[in-house]
Amino acid sequence: MKEKLALMIPGPTPVPERVLQALGQHPIGHRTPEFQDIVNKTTELLKWLHQTKQDVLTITGSGTAAMEAGIINTLSKGDKVICGENGKFGERWVKVAKAYGLNVQVVKADWGQPLNPEEFKVLLDQDEDIRAVILTHSETSTGVINDLKEISKHVSQHKNAITIADCVTSLGATNVPMDEWHLDVVASGSQKGYMIPPGLSFVALSKKAWKANERSDLPKFYLDLRSYKKSGDKNSNPFTPSVNIYFALQEALEMMKEEGLENIFRRHNKHKEATQAAMEAIGLKLFAAKGFGSPSVTAIEPKGIDADVIRNYIKENFDILLAGGQDHLKGKVFRIGHLGFVNDRDILTVISSIEVTLIQLNILEKPIGSGVAAAAAILTD
């Protein structure tokens, strides 16, 4: 039943009915007091979500636009930056930095492994001219979470550097206290923990980031965050925003506020633990290094079979869309998104569907029900 396809990819994530209803309303003028009220309310809720008193700006664009905005508004041509790279998105920020003529040093880890905070510390200690550390918190391509807190701690002790963090699949899923962790730029996107369709992205900036902005000379216009700040201070936008996605944003943020940050983080952590335990109980290998699994996406590396065969079987027979591997991981891993509007039932559903799929493909190594049992032990704990 194609019409009943369930999304269990790391974005777009499932959208609650009340959010879809908000989305499907007639648009209103974006230069009206009514819309200013929406900008005002969503901005306050975004600050709550980011655990910050500083600025959170909303851009009509993807998470990449938000991340690029963070980079090009705080740096200047030739600036020395360190990029963390242990997956597709880490690679992307290296490309952005190079496209703008930054002087890039790369701290690498193999795909599936976390970045080593010590390596950042060593490089930062050696050179006081470094202007930024750019990295991904939850690496969506591999299901690895990096130790952003520790890396940011090293950066905060440096004279000139700021931390620019891609929190696209971590914000709204796990704790990202911007102010407490001294994060300077935090980028995120609507189709993730926010539980709304793609189309808006968010970039939060610390005072230190705005200070860096004063000397930034990279050319920009649509992504010039000074315009967003200036308009934002009047509860407005510099360019026509995605009005209907804003309607959805307000509704979804109110739902998140009702659930509470602690509950949201606990739910995501529980689903991560249950998914990991179930996959191991079934006999499937987790791609991410032990202890570094992302709260929002689990990558699985099946042995002796193209991962897309499993993925396609589940799509065709159980109407669940899982994500495939990207680039050199294509066919090697499949990824289960447990991000946003996901409940315990969804987790049981995907696990039991995977078990039945492995039976049908004649590759289930453990007794049927092992995965469900392992997940149940965590979900009912």
Site string (38-67) toward a copy of itself, x via CB under 8 A: ----------------------xxxxxx--
**Residue 66-85 contact track with a copy of itself, rule CB under 8 A, x = bound:** --x-----------------
Binding residues for a copy of itself, rule CB under 8 A, total 55
Of 118, 119, 181, the closest CA to residue 148 belongs to: 181
Of 219 and 304, nearer to a copy of itself (C-beta) is 219
CA neighbours within 13 Å on the CB side: how many for 207?
Answer: 3
Closest CA to 266 of 378, 350, 187: 378
Nearer to a copy of itself, 29 or 367 (CB): 29
Polymer length of the chain = 381
Q: Do the beta carbons of residue 14 and residue 191 sit within 8 Å?
A: no
Residue 239 within binding range of a copy of itself, rule CB under 8 A:
yes
The residue among 89 and 111 lying less far from a copy of itself, judged by its C-beta, is 89
- Residue among 156, 99, 159, 102 at smallest CA distance from 128: 159
CA distance 265 to 52: 17
91, 224, 251, 273: which one binds a copy of itself (CB under 8 A): 224
Report yes or no: 295 and 272 within 8 Å, Cβ to Cβ: yes
In angstroms, rounded to a whole number, what is the distance separating the alpha carbons of residues 288 and 152?
22
Task: Tell me whether residue 160 or residue 312 sits nearer to a copy of itself (CB atom).
Answer: 312
Whether the Cβ atoms of residue 332 and residue 307 lie closer than 8 Å to each other: yes
Which of 1, 26, 214, 304 forms a contact with a copy of itself (CB under 8 A)?
26
Contact residue for a copy of itself among 11, 193, 232, 325 (CB under 8 A) = 11
223 lines the binding site for a copy of itself (CB under 8 A): yes
Q: Which stretch binds a copy of itself (CB under 8 A): 157-165, 173-181, 239-247, 295-303?
A: 239-247
Residue 325 interacting with a copy of itself (CB under 8 A): no
- What's the sign of the alpha-carbon dihedral 327, 331, 332, 338? positive
**DSSP-derived 3-state class of residue 85:** strand
Q: Least CB distance from residue 283 to a copy of itself, whole Å?
A: 27
Nearest one of 251, 229, 246, 247 to 238, comparing CA atoms: 229
Distance of alpha carbon 285 from alpha carbon 74, whole angstroms: 41
Among 25, 157, 343, 360, binds a copy of itself (CB under 8 A): 25
Partners of residue 55 on adjacent β-strands: 205
Residue 27 or residue 177: which is nearer to a copy of itself going by CB?
27
Binding a copy of itself (rule: CB under 8 A), the pick from 30, 154, 158, 272 is 30
Residue 219 binds to a copy of itself (criterion: CB under 8 A): yes
317 contact partners, CB below 8 Å, separation of at least 6: 353, 357, 360
Of 45, 49, 75, 96, the one binding a copy of itself by CB under 8 A: 96
Binding residues vs a copy of itself (CB under 8 A): 2, 5, 7, 9, 11-12, 14-15, 20-21, 23-32, 34, 60-65, 68, 95-96, 99-101, 189, 191, 197-199, 218-224, 239-245, 321, 323-324
